[in-house]
């Protein structure tokens, strides 16, 4: 198991309930493919560097988790088609 961090930018034009549902879906994806969740950071609403899908703000979330390498491909393929996710990035953390 390796340590990973999933950064997710959620559309700021949706209501709080829909935004929390997106984060719950991300958590569920991680656990469904054998990952164990760690710390979850919410950075709140930030201005985007450029407009994405006709919006210039997004809510930033960072989910830290442990998972196998095979699980990452499955998680990313599901994140790609998830509604209200403007951008995502999954990176492997160093063991330092």
pLDDT, tens only, 33-80: 999 999 999 999 999 999 998 999 999 999 999 998 889 999 999 999
What does each C-alpha distance from 15 to 19, 31, 66, 72 come to in angstroms? 6, 25, 30, 28
In angstroms, the CA 81 to CA 78 distance is 6
pLDDT band at 95 (very low <50, low <70, confident <90, very high): confident
Within a domain: 20: yes
Within a domain: 58: no
Task: Say how many domains are in the chain.
Answer: 1
Selection from 36, 32, 38 nearest residue 75 by Cα: 32
In angstroms, the CA 11 to CA 87 distance is 9
Kindly report the pTM of this predicted structure.
0.89
Within a domain: 42: no
Within a domain: 26: yes
Domain ranges, residue 14 = 1-34
Within a domain: 10: yes
In angstroms, the CA 74 to CA 71 distance is 5
Within a domain: 69: no
């Amino acid at each position: 198991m390796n340590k990973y961090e999933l950064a997710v930018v959620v559309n700021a034009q949706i209501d709080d309930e829909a935004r929390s549902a997106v984060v719950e879906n991300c958590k569920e994806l991680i656990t469904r493919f054998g990952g164990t969740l760690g710390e979850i950071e919410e950075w709140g609403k930030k201005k985007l560097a450029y407009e994405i899908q006709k919006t210039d703000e997004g809510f930033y979330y960072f989910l830290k988790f442990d998972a196998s390498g095979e699980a990452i491909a499955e998680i990313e393929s599901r994140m790609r088609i998830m509604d209200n996710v403007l951008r995502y990035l999954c990176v492997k953390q160093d063991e330092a």
